[in-house]
C-alpha cells in the first residue's frame, strides 16, 4: 500500500484525525513575523495552514492525502480563506517548487535517510531571509508516543547539522499535553536562512 493510500485510509477512519488548533509553538514563532508567503509540507487537515491563513499569510499546503486536503478546503471555504492545496508527494513537489519565506514541517517522520534528503531540499526552498519551522517527535519520546521506531525520531544534533549556516532562534523540547494529549517531548526548531548561506 502506498503512503498516500495508507494515510487516506487513516483519515477516512474518523471525521477528524488531528486537533483543529495550530501547534502552540507555531503561534509563538510567527508572533513577530510579518505575514508572507508560506508553505506547509504534509499539512494534513490543515490546522497550521488555516492558522497561518487567518493570520494573513498566503499559504500553499501540500499533502499526498486528498481526504485531508478536502477537509482543509471545507474549513477554508466556510471562513472565506484562500489556501492553495497541492495533492502530491512532498519529495516530488520539492524538486520543482519555488522558494517560500515561511516553511512549516510539522509532525512529518520519514526514515532518517529520507529526512536528510528532505532537509537538503529545504535549504533551497526556504528563501534567503526566510524562516523554517519544524516540529516533530523527539527521540526522548521513544516508547511514550509517536512512531515506535527510533530511526523516525528527531533530535537537536540532527537539526543543527542539517541546517548549518541557518540562524537558530529556537531549538528546544516542548511537551504540550493540551496539544498532543500526552507529555512526550517534541522538538521545535525555528530557523532563519541568512541572505547568504556559507559555502
Ligand X SMILES: C[S@@+](CC[C@H](N)C(=O)[O-])C[C@H]1O[C@@H](n2cnc3c(N)ncnc32)[C@H](O)[C@@H]1O
Residues contributing to the site for ligand X (CB under 6 A): 3, 7, 18, 42-44, 47-48, 62-65, 68, 89-91, 106-108
* 183-6-37 Cα angle (round to 5): 70
Which residue, 54 or 194, is less far from ligand X as judged by CB?
54
Q: Which is nearer to ligand X, 53 or 68 (CB)?
A: 68
Nearest distance, CB of residue 195 and ligand X, angstroms: 28
Strand partners, 174: 186
As measured in angstroms, the least distance from the Cβ of 89 to ligand X is 4
C-alpha grid cell, residue 23: 501547534
> Smallest distance, Å, CB 6 to ligand X?
8
Question: Residue 66 corresponds to which cell in the numbers above?
Answer: 486528498
Residue 116 vs 167, nearer CB to ligand X: 116
57's CB contacts (< 8 A; 6+ apart) are: 30, 35, 36, 37, 38, 102
Q: How far is CA 66 from the centre of its chain?
A: 17
Rounded least distance, CB 16 to ligand X, Å = 11
Collapsed DSSP state (helix, strand, coil) of residue 137: strand
Task: Please report how close the Cβ of residue 191 comes to ligand X at its closest, in angstroms.
Answer: 17
Q: What's the closest the beta carbon of residue 196 comes to ligand X, in angstroms?
A: 30
Sheet holding 186-192, edge to edge: 83-87, 58-63, 37-41, 100-106, 126-137, 186-192, 167-174
Residue among 138, 180, 175, 137 at smallest CA distance from 21: 180
Q: Which is nearer to ligand X, 48 or 85 (CB)?
A: 48
| Nearer of residues 48 and 60 to ligand X, judged by Cβ | 48
Supply 43's cell numbers: 499539512
- Taking each helix axis from N to C terminus, what angle separates 3-12 and 66-79, rounded to the nearest 10 degrees? 50
Residue with the CB atom nearest ligand X in the bound state: 44
Nearer to ligand X, 106 or 125 (CB): 106
Amino acid at each position: 500500500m502506498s503512503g498516500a493510500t495508507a494515510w487516506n485510509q487513516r483519515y477516512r477512519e474518523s471525521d477528524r484525525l488531528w486537533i483543529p488548533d495550530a501547534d502552540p509553538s507555531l503561534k509563538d514563532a510567527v508572533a513577530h513575523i510579518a505575514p508572507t508567503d508560506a508553505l506547509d509540507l504534509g499539512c494534513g487537515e490543515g490546522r497550521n495552514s488555516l492558522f497561518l491563513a487567518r493570520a494573513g499569510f498566503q499559504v500553499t499546503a501540500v499533502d499526498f492525502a486528498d481526504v485531508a486536503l478536502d477537509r482543509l478546503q471545507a474549513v477554508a471555504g466556510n471562513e472565506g480563506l484562500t489556501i492553495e492545496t497541492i495533492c502530491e508527494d512532498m519529495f516530488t513537489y520539492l524538486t520543482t517548487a519555488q522558494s517560500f519565506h515561511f516553511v512549516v514541517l510539522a509532525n512529518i517522520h520519514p526514515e532518517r535517510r529520507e529526512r536528510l534528503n528532505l532537509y537538503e531540499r529545504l535549504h533551497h526552498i526556504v528563501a534567503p531571509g526566510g524562516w523554517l519551522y519544524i516540529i516533530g517527535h523527539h527521540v526522548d519520546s521513544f516508547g511514550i508516543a509517536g512512531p515506535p521506531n527510533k530511526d523516525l525520531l528527531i533530535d537537536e544534533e540532527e537539526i543543527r547539522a542539517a541546517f548549518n549556516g541557518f540562524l537558530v532562534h529556537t531549538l528546544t523540547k516542548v511537551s504540550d499535553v493540551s496539544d498532543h494529549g500526552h507529555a512526550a517531548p517534541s522538538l521545535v526548531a525555528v530557523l532563519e536562512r541568512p541572505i547568504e548561506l556559507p559555502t
